[in-house]
Amino acid sequence: MAEAYIVESLRTAGGRRKGALSSVHPADLGATVLDALVARTGVDPAAIEDVIVGCVTQAGEQAFAFGRNLVLASSLPDSVPAVTIDRQCGSSQQAIQFAAQAVMSGTQDVVIAAGAESMTRVPMGSNFALHAQAGVGEGPWSRKIQDRYGVTEFSQFQGAQRVADKYGLTREQMDAFALQSHQKAAAAIRAGAFKAEIVPVQTAEGLFDQDEGVRFDTSLEAMAGVKTILEGGTITAANASQMSDGASGALIVSEAALKRFDLTPIARIVNLTVTAGDPVIMLEEPIAATRRALERAGLKLDDIDLFEVNEAFASIPMAWLKALGADPARLNVNGGAIALGHPLGASGAKLMATLLHALKARGGRYGLQTMCEGGGLANVTIVERL
């Protein structure tokens, strides 16, 4: 099978909901990353054969062929096609996997995988909220689905709480994990660790290039005062990811394209895995997906230098660490979504940018990225730094 290579992987800084990026149309936000990928790699923009864009809430400004609109808002020629995909929080990680599969199959040589989400301008859930308000139909879960699983809805909040309870994670432990996320992210910002991966965005207030969700002075005492999301539960807004605006992307090419355009790869795709499990507990699936990915790649957990496990809720990476016995010192070394934000459809490619640049900074070889996703899904991508 042919190899797939990542030439560049970039992201915008994370904008807090109603924060610095709220003045930017999400198509323009994503277009900024597309333009940066072309500018930094020097690839001929007319040679890009597809742009695969992850986006979860495809409504409002993120509706009507949103992926195509990123291209139209960019400097790319309108001969470049695009498509929008939704695998919930793993949407742009799946975009990377689809792009890599296209290259590995030999059907395409130059593909951009991207993601964009403005949780300010297109609020989470608005794609079915208007439908519900209209009183038409039954909503996303039919009676047949509800009867099969004995629920009236699938809730990520309930799923995160179920994971915490199953793995014996206390609120105090999750708050401590969340505090570390902020501390690691703050240290990374102070050290300039994100500079190479962040694409500055022009906003109404000026140039935006630093993650604004990081709380440099937070404390366990402050977190302890935050109310739980579910009555009697232990999940709070303080130990969960922040709603965020952002965009991300990666240029993925074949060996032939490397030679044709004189490109230098930064990583090789080693393994692409996606699995599905229980949609009620929902967010536990990265554990099974990681086991399968390592087995298929012929690698052991100890072979992996760095892990990026999305911090949708603190209970998810903590359960992942506990179930797999992974080294916590290799996990989310520059902080995660609790501090840096979780712009839904952009988070997959966002984590890839952070993972690859962190591997370079530390001289690591292998990196593993995984995301919990609505519906009980999980993606795992393993890369080798070159």
Catalytic site includes residue 89: yes
Q: Is 55 a catalytic residue?
A: no
Q: Cβ distance 348 to 114 under 8 Å?
A: no
Q: Which of 55, 89, 182, 357 is catalytic?
A: 89
Strand partners, 381: 272, 369
131 is catalytic: no
**Could you tell me which of 138, 129, 234, 139 has the C-alpha nearest to residue 178?**
234
- Check if the beta carbon of residue 84 is closer than 8 Å to that of residue 67: yes
Q: Determine which one of 55, 182, 357, 372 is catalytic.
A: 372
Per the residue annotation, which of 55, 182, 342, 357 is the catalytic one?
Answer: 342
Residues β-bridged to residue 313: 240
Q: What amino acid positions are annotated as catalytic residues?
A: 89, 342, 372
